[in-house]
């Protein structure tokens, strides 16, 4: 059973839309560009350098923020979703613009939202250079709002992380998430509030007596500081940002058709929120790892010869990491990723 589709999100339809958009976008090409739509960020080559761009929003996590009337962290989520995507292609994010759509302009509330955007930009080491606020009372109720953002980054074209770099035998390193980040909230809301009638103020033992409000509004982790020196030292073959689609959909995006990622899910312990959602939603492992990040926010692909250097650099940044798998040759008919639990395939 596809519980995410029952909650109103159709991953297969989303993948079909991307496939259709690729055909449309090709018609707009004005110069040679080997990077297809479907990567973590868009790429525009300018001679020896490449400009990268990413745009995203926060999704239905906004509905939790609106109900809880907590506005000071949701902007961080918007920045993180864009900055981490730029990072995944090997670039340093440079600047950010936000777009706020509101039912009624409440300067005090909007200031808190934008302060969160600025906090995220500081963490991602980039500038907030502008944005747009649109007041649309016919579109939104007076207390409703939406936020989206746009990030631009840059790197040398030769330093782009493409699917040509990962090699058989490369090691996969997982950097932990701090929770749900900004994905899967349509299903989260269905499980916790529609099906089981929890309250945002409920403090649950499984969450170490933290309130659901605090758990669900933890801002998405930004990985720029942890990873940028690894990129500068050319120690990374690939990066996967684990967003919508989870490990199952996102890890294959950094690989070519000759490789398979083999990941041991026993290598780390998912955050308690995922255990709660799995139990209350009666989710199987395949659904969990296709919908949620399950405790891993970023996956690094590294040459075994560079593994210790990468670990040392992560430790110098006080970044926790897990050795979660490796790349193997993909046999004909095999999927791009194999998830193991107790040595058994869980897809």
Domain total in the chain: 2
Decide the pairing of beta strands 127-135 and 92-102.
parallel
Q: How far apart are the first and last CA of the chain?
A: 13
Q: How far apart are CA 229 and CA 317, in angstroms?
A: 10
Asked if residue 21 belongs to a domain, the reply is no
Residue 92 pLDDT greater than 60, yes or no: yes
> What range defines the domain where residue 267 resides?
171-345
Asked if residue 16 belongs to a domain, the reply is no
Asked if residue 60 belongs to a domain, the reply is yes
Query: Both 199 and 323 in a single domain?
Result: yes
Q: What is the pLDDT of residues 8-60, one digit of tens each?
A: 666 676 667 666 866 776 667 766 665 666 689 999 988 899 999 999 999 99
Q: How far apart are CA 176 and CA 61, in angstroms?
A: 20
Query: Both 80 and 153 in a single domain?
Result: yes
Phi then psi for 113, rounded to 5 degrees?
A: -65, -45
Query: Both 90 and 193 in a single domain?
Result: no
Q: What is the mean pLDDT of residues 193-202?
A: 97
Q: What is the CATH number of the domain that holds 60?
A: 3.30.1330.10
Asked if residue 298 belongs to a domain, the reply is yes
Q: Which tokens is 313 given? A: 């650099």
Query: Both 199 and 272 in a single domain?
Result: yes
Q: How far apart are CA 253 and CA 86, in angstroms?
A: 14
- pLDDT averaged over every residue in the chain: 93
Asked if residue 268 belongs to a domain, the reply is yes
Q: What is the pLDDT of residues 230-249, one digit of tens each?
A: 999 999 999 999 999 999 99
Q: What is the CATH number of the domain that holds 245?
A: 3.90.650.10
The percentage of the chain sitting over the pLDDT mark of 70, rounded to a whole number, equals 90
Q: What is the pLDDT of residues 266-308, one digit of tens each?
A: 999 999 999 999 999 999 999 999 999 999 999 999 999 999 9
């Amino acid at each position: 059973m596809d519980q995410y589709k029952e909650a109103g999100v159709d991953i297969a339809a989303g993948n079909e839309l991307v496939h259709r958009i690729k055909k449309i976008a090709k018609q707009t090409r004005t110069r040679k560009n080997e990077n297809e739509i479907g990567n973590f960020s868009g790429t525009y080559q300018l001679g020896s350098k490449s400009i990268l761009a990413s745009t995203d929003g926060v999704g239905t996590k906004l509905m939790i923020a609106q109900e809880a009337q907590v506005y000071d962290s949701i902007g961080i989520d918007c920045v993180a979703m864009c900055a981490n995507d730029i990072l995944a292609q090997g670039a340093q994010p440079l600047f950010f613009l936000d777009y706020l759509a509101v039912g009624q302009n409440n300067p005090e509330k909007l200031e808190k939202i934008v302060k969160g955007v600025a906090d995220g930009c500081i963490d991602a080491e980039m500038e907030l250079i502008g944005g747009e606020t649109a007041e649309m009372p016919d579109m939104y109720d007076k207390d409703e709002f939406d936020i989206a953002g746009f990030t631009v980054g840059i790197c040398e074209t030769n330093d782009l992380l493409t699917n040509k770099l990962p090699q058989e035998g490369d090691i996969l390193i997982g950097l932990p998430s701090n929770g749900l980040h900004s994905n899967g909230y349509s299903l989260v809301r269905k499980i916790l509030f529609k099906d089981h009638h929890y309250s945002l103020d409920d403090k649950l033992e499984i969450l170490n007596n933290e309130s659901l409000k605090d758990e669900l509004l933890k801002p998405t982790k930004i990985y720029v500081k942890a990873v940028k020196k690894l990129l500068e030292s050319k120690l990374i073959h690939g990066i996967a940002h684990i967003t919508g689609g989870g490990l199952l959909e996102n890890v294959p995006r950094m690989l070519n058709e000759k490789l398979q990622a083999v990941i041991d899910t026993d290598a780390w312990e998912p955050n308690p929120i995922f255990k709660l959602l799995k139990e209350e939603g009666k989710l199987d492992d395949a659904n969990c790892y296709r919908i949620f990040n399950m405790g891993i926010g970023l996956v690094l692909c590294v040459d075994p010869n560079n593994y210790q250097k990468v670990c040392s650099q992560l430790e110098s940044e006080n970044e926790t990491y897990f050795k979660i798998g490796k790349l193997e040759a993909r046999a004909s008919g095999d999927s791009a990723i194999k998830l193991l639990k107790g040595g058994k395939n869980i897809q």
